[in-house]
Copies of this chain bind each other. A is one copy, B any other.
């Protein structure tokens, strides 16, 4: 049997065929054009689904289900997107609308939860039944898998661990709270922290690396400066890793998953990031005596995690 996974994003709709091992067989996509009525967008989802099936010569009866990962908060039992961050999809009956075109079971889940499920089924957490997947990107996406299933609470809105205050009355977060983990440990956050440090320290390597144009600072700049021995860069990186560790330790103390999976571009920093991160987390978490500690691993599923995790909702 095969499974269809749909990654419904603010920019693109990506659709893939996934086998029962979580391997992506074939995919296609189209622009979301999110200003359109939801009926038109869901019609496109159906059209691309039928196209990818046709491309591979697979019969519809060999497809077990369609899973959809979307931003925001779904009502997964009713197949309704209750709240969507950046689509005009609030209170939208996605499942019913899609089933007008394709008569298959349709599952709906938050996209960060789908990424976590992908790591659990086929990625860095496939050997354990309980894991947390954290993606350090524009924000911090969190997904929780317990007993090999997505855990999202009574209202399907849980696992928002990026929106956990780690600095009371701290930096304003996009969610309305002040001091969220996301405001300190996302890629957006290290860019802000790098710029602030460069402004205060005009002689730092950071300024040199961007040719004096702080608009060119990205999430790598402070790491690059630190690797060149720049004290300001080292300080930014050290503090940034400490912020990651604090939210990670908080999440671990709450959930104690067998593995914590970290994704996002910053993982390319490899052991330069992971070694101090593990040291901080392992010294902080509440695992005393001989109590085993969760493993900290890098995500493996890459950009297709959303499609694969969505597909695996039906497994």
Bound Cα distance A128, B152 (Å): 15
Contact segment of A10-18, A26-34, A284-292: A284-292
Nearest CB in chain B to that of A250: its residue = B164
Identical copies in the complex? 2
A197 is an interface residue with CB less than 8 A from chain B: no
**0/1 string, A278-312, CB within 8 A of B gives 1:** 00000110111111111000000000000000000
Across-interface contacts of A170 in B (CB, < 8 A)? 168
Q: How far is the CB of A216 from chain B (nearest CB, A)?
A: 28
CA distance A291 to B160 in the complex (A): 14
Interface of A is mostly: loop
Q: Nearest-CB distance from A109 to chain B (Å)?
A: 14
19 contacts across the A-B interface (CB closer than 8 A): A73-B288, A73-B291, A82-B290, A82-B291, A83-B288, A83-B291, A142-B254, A146-B146, A153-B256, A154-B257, A155-B287, A163-B253, A165-B249, A168-B170, A168-B242, A177-B249, A177-B284, A251-B254, A254-B254
Q: Which residues of chain B come closer than 8 Å to A164, judged between CB atoms?
A: 164, 250, 253-254
Task: Decide if A79 is an interface residue (CB 8 Å cutoff).
Answer: no
Q: Is A263 an interface residue (CB 8 A)?
A: no
Chain B hits for A158, CB < 8 A: 253-256
Tell whether, in the assembled complex, residue B253 and residue A288 are in contact, meaning their CB atoms are under 8 Å apart: no
Judge whether A130 is part of the interface by a CB distance below 8 angstroms.
yes
Docked complex Cα distance between A129 and B146 (Å): 16
A84 → chain B closest CB, angstroms:
8
CB closest residue in chain B, given A167? B168
CB <8 Å contact, A166 and B166: yes
Given contacts A153-B257, A167-B168, 13 further A-B contacts (CB under 8 A): A83-B289, A90-B290, A128-B154, A129-B154, A146-B151, A155-B291, A157-B288, A158-B253, A163-B286, A164-B164, A176-B284, A251-B254, A254-B255
Closest to A254 in B: B161
* Chain B residue contacts of A287, Cβ below 8 A: 73, 155, 157
